[in-house]
Amino acid sequence: MMRLISRTVMLAFAWWVLTKGAADSWQVGIPAILAALYVDYRLLQTRTSRWSLRGLIGYAHYFLKSSVISGIDVVRRAFHPQLPLNAAIIEYPLELTSAAARNLFACTVSLLPGTLAVALDENRLVAHVLDVERPFEQELKIIEHRVAGIFRPRAQNRRTPVRTG
């Protein structure tokens, strides 16, 4: 049941982001979400890991905050008289092991202003950044950590007591 709730919340959030919160889009969104839930249930039952609702909420919070901050930075650069850009193509080594997590990571990088995923394989992400002087590696590490928090296996989501003595 928790899996169904977390997936529904994730898909509804994705729909809301994609439609920019348009209220009239839900007449298409709800059937699309239900279809995605059905496909997920029928085709992807054999997954060994589960989604973490706590990880999804943390990811959504970080994504929204980063979108605003990055968007302001891009607007500032666009309207600055000298247009301060130091664009580059960078390679980022990945620690994510699941294909779904890597895909969400690449999509997140592309959706955040100032970055664009160019290529993705099992070991690395190639991305375009607007300013190579920014701490992009640290920012990508945070995004990767947030994405990993969604895809942790059920056993890793629970705290285990530490025994001493």
78-123 tens-digit pLDDT: 888 787 788 899 999 999 988 888 989 999 999 888 889 999 988 9
Residues shown for the chain: 165
Q: Is-above-0.85 flag for pTM?
A: no
Q: Is residue 5 part of a domain?
A: no
Q: Is residue 22 part of a domain?
A: no
CB count within 10 Å of CB 130 equals 21
141: left (phi over 0), alpha (psi -120 to 50) or beta: alpha
pLDDT in tens, 47-90: 545 678 888 899 999 999 999 998 898 888 888 878 778 889 99
User: Which helix (H) or strand (E) segment is 115 a member of?
Assistant: strand 115-120
Supply the range of the domain harboring residue 107.
47-154
Q: Is residue 4 part of a domain?
A: no
